[in-house]
A and B are shown apart, each in its own frame.
Chain A
Amino acid sequence: MRTKSLAALLSAAIALGTVHLASDVQAQGARGGSAAGDAQKDERIKAILAQLTSKERSDVRDGFAAMEQLGTGAAAAVPTANRVLSRGLPIDLTTTALHALGSVGDVSSSQAIRPYLRHRHVELRREAAKALIKTKGQEAKDGLRTALSDADAMVRGIAATGLGELGATEHIATLFAALDHNVPEAASSIGQLCNPEQCEQYASRTGRIGFDVMITGFDQILFRDPKQMPDDQKIRIIGRVRELGTGDAHRFLKDVQSRWPEGWSERVKKALDLAVLSTQGAPGGGES
């Protein structure tokens, strides 16, 4: 439960604030070893932790900015950063914190970030959704699934994209619902996640949903690893697109043809070549 998580973190932060800071630094020190680079990194982490727990707004900002710069190298500061975010920050600092935690990409941050998907400030919801894509984990997937129902189209779009990137196959039904509710970003994610049967369900929406949206999913399906997506399914998709017989279909097929990886299925390649040929000169194709 996301709110439970935040509340737990928040209480812990209040009760154990400085104790955690010290232990984080010690832990990092223990991992750091004696190398000069590690010592320097320890110092940097120590400085970040001090900044994050400062009462000064500028210090906190600098601490998160430093984390963002360090990326995964700032992992040791993540527990403290998570707690600081969970206690609540002004909007500008929250944005900075979300960027920083996203940049570090530690899965433990998803719990601290998720409540911000419900913040009234829409920019924070968008940033939280983007950060969750980077911090990953089930918490992130579940949060993004909920965000598909957000009132803001951009939040929905980010969430849909994120679910694809995170491989959230368990939420593919919701992605279909999103697609049917005019969340175009869901198309590409469905293309990334669908099994052959679901891919067919997706393809059956051709004609109902704009072709410009549908091709984002087709593209993903066609370039899926051959181990994940059988050739027959890819050939069926090519056939569906070819049957449209439009200039747009031709252009799409030609584009896929041009990017078809060396050594990939010859059968699919052949189907592609034939489809490109048969759609040549299609209305609106702009070429003979």
Chain B
Amino acid sequence: MSAGRQLGSFAWRSRAWCWLAPGLLIACGAGQTRIGDVFNTEWQNDGGKSIRAVQSKLANQAIPKGADVAVGIVDKGLVGVALDSGKTWAFSHAIDARPLIAGDVVVATGGGEMFALEAETGRKLWSRPTPGQIRGAGDDGKTTLVSLEPSSHSAGMLVAVSRDGTVVRQLEANVPIGSPAIVANLAFIPWQNQYVTVYDLTSGDEIARAILRHQTSQAFLAGGSLYFGEVGVTRFDDRIGDAARDEASKVSLPVRELPGKPRWMRAGGVVGKTTSDAFDAIRAYALPEPTAGGLRLDGERYYATYYRIAAGLNDVTGELAWVRRLEDDAIGGAAYDGGVALCQRSGKVSFFDASMGATAGQVSLGQPVRVCVVQADSLSRRAEAARPEPLVEQISQVIDVTQTEMVMMHAFLLRELISQESPKATQRLIELATDARTPLELRTVARTGLASRRNGAEYMLAALEKRYDFLAGELMPPPVGPLSDALAEMKETRAAPLLAEHLNDPANDTDDVKRAAMALEKLATPAELEQLETFFALYRATAHNDDLIAAVVAVGKAIVRVGGDAGRELVRQAAYDPLTVPLLQEPLKQL
């Protein structure tokens, strides 16, 4: 029984391509098959039988690791750099779609042809006339499978080309398909975001189909394994037959709200643009790693970029592990065994260690690039520093308030900073809250965070020593309110004289004054009585908003507490004085 019959609705039909425009001919005479009914959704789930059989057949098949290379688009064509040696190459050619790295070849289209280069050296392997743009590619070390976008001349198609440029099979696809992979001359073709068809390029038969329970438009090789995915990845292993029950070896990025919502993979089967876009700059990277129990992410990490900022996160909890600022926007990259390679718009490719983000060197494409694609399948790089600075310092360094376009990421990092126990976090939060250049949104986050700190009292006290002083150029008062909250909770009586000074400083806003007053309600000593009484006198008859009214009441309480009989009498007199703000009279009577 043929595979087609086995799968019921499969029907691979050969079709000659010789009628196409002569300039766009690929090859006639090679085995040609047209995908038609193969995408028929009447297909009955075979319970994983066919895909399991294929997996079993390939179980001992060694999958060669691909080249470690970064390839960029420049005005004249392509440039590449070997990630291990740093050796660069350039290839001049028209480029009409984002190139793809598959195995040890780079495949691209442009100028009416598709071509393959040796990834390590940029040496041309072959070229063929083509009617469309490249949208996917796979390579098994012998054959390159190229998926081409439908064009006005033709439907979409898959073309299998041997190393010498011979077209060994071409398939017309009348339905949208994802990006394919190829292993041992078997093409794995994702389609309709849930199926993976296994197509035997030798026989021209579909020999199996898998159904996956998460969005799947990519088939790719990594670390000697075959994976299917887009939102999360499934490994093609002995559990693949259970994919339909969602019990295959699968791994996803943890659910974690990150700035810009970076995604791991683009939708497969779509022509990539020749200029980078936001998806490239806001992107997640991860390398799946087989384990005894299934699948997880290499180094217990996944990585996210937000333009010039790169972060390493825990693969299970999403907890931030490290963060680095790059010299330029990251527009491409790849996770490798023990780290991540990030390609920047400038053409530099930087390497970071998985665990703490230590730098692990850098290579360069030699010039700025419009697009950068990276493959790091067998790369291994050691971190240059044995132990980089702690996370709290990394975050502090990365937050740069002058980069106003990075506010979203900085706000995220600020929240991470707030979660750090170190007093250094307190110090940095104070700096951010008092830096006039800090965008309001960030300052608000920093202030909120400061109020919740319970360490770094020395930094807080030092901050409160400062005042608004026009002549001294101190134009931003310290975050008196948040510091008051924190110091009061910490029962830090050393703050009392400083807060008492700020109480009477008109440069502080009324919310800060209120919070200082409330802190003094707890922290004031008789030494602050004079300042408290001054405030009480200035505002008991002029308090014009809720903050000030609350502040006067709090100060009244403090006076009663530390001022003895005279203090109580002062407050009592004010409470019964008709010139006292009416809203204050009753609360003061209660003291």
Contact = CB atoms under 8 A, between A and B. Distances in A.
B310 to A, nearest CB: 41
B538 A115 contact: yes
Nearest to B571: A14
A145 to B, nearest CB: 10
Contact of B534 (A6, A14, A156, A177): A6
Contact of B470 (A7, A93, A125, A148): A148
B542 A14 contact: no
Contacts of A55: 577-579
Contacts of A208: none
B533 interface: yes
A88 B539 contact: yes
Interface stretch (B47-55, B146-154, B504-512): B504-512
Interface residues of B, number: 34
A115 B506 CA distance: 11
B227 interface: no
Contacts of B581: 90
A129 to B, nearest CB: 13
B537 A87 contact: yes
A116 B538 contact: yes
A14 B504 contact: no
A116 to B, nearest CB: 7
B578 A149 contact: no
Contacts of B530: 1, 3-4, 6-8
Contact of A149 (B469, B534, B542): B469
A89 interface: yes
Nearest to B569: A14
A227 interface: no
A55 B574 CA distance: 11
A178 B469 CA distance: 11
Interface string B526-557: 00011101101111111010001000000000
Interface string A137-157: 000000000001111000010
B326 interface: no
A146 B541 CA distance: 25
Nearest to B542: A91
A267 interface: no
A118 to B, nearest CB: 5
Interface in B462-486: 468-473
Interface string A1-31: 1011011101100110000000000000000
A3 B504 contact: yes
B573 interface: yes
Interface in B312-334: none
Given A55-B577, A57-B578, A120-B506, A88 B538 contact: yes
Contacts of B579: 55, 57, 60, 88-90, 93
A90 B542 contact: yes
A63 to B, nearest CB: 13
B533 A150 contact: no
B537 A86 contact: yes
A189 to B, nearest CB: 14
Nearest to B467: A149
Interface in A87-104: 87-91, 93-94
B67 to A, nearest CB: 63
Nearest to A125: B506
Nearest to A178: B471
B256 to A, nearest CB: 43
Contacts of A91: 542
Nearest to B529: A7
Contacts of B577: 55, 87
B570 interface: yes
A88 B537 contact: yes
Contacts of A15: 566, 569
Nearest to A150: B470
A11 B530 CA distance: 10
Contact of B471 (A7, A57, A181): A181
Nearest to B566: A11
Contacts of B538: 88, 115-116, 118-120
B503 to A, nearest CB: 10
A181 B506 contact: no
A4 B531 CA distance: 7
Which of B505, B531, B533 counts the most chain A CB atoms within 10 A? B533
B470 A88 contact: no
B569 A10 contact: no
Nearest to B532: A7
Given A87-B537, A89-B579, A149-B472, A119 B542 contact: yes
Contacts of B548: 120
A253 B573 CA distance: 61
A121 B545 CA distance: 12
Nearest to B477: A151
Given A14-B569, A88-B536, A125-B506, 17 more contacts: A3-B531, A6-B530, A10-B536, A55-B579, A60-B579, A87-B537, A88-B537, A88-B540, A89-B542, A93-B579, A116-B538, A120-B510, A149-B468, A149-B471, A149-B472, A151-B507, A181-B473
Interface of A: 1, 3-4, 6-8, 10-11, 14-15, 55-57, 60, 86-91, 93-94, 115-116, 118-122, 124-125, 148-151, 156, 174, 177-178, 181
11 contacts: A4-B530, A7-B529, A7-B530, A14-B570, A56-B578, A93-B579, A115-B534, A125-B506, A148-B471, A178-B471, A181-B473
Of all A-B residue pairs in the complex, the 8 with the closest CB atoms, nearest first, are A7-B530, A88-B537, A7-B533, A3-B534, A149-B470, A120-B506, A149-B469, A90-B541
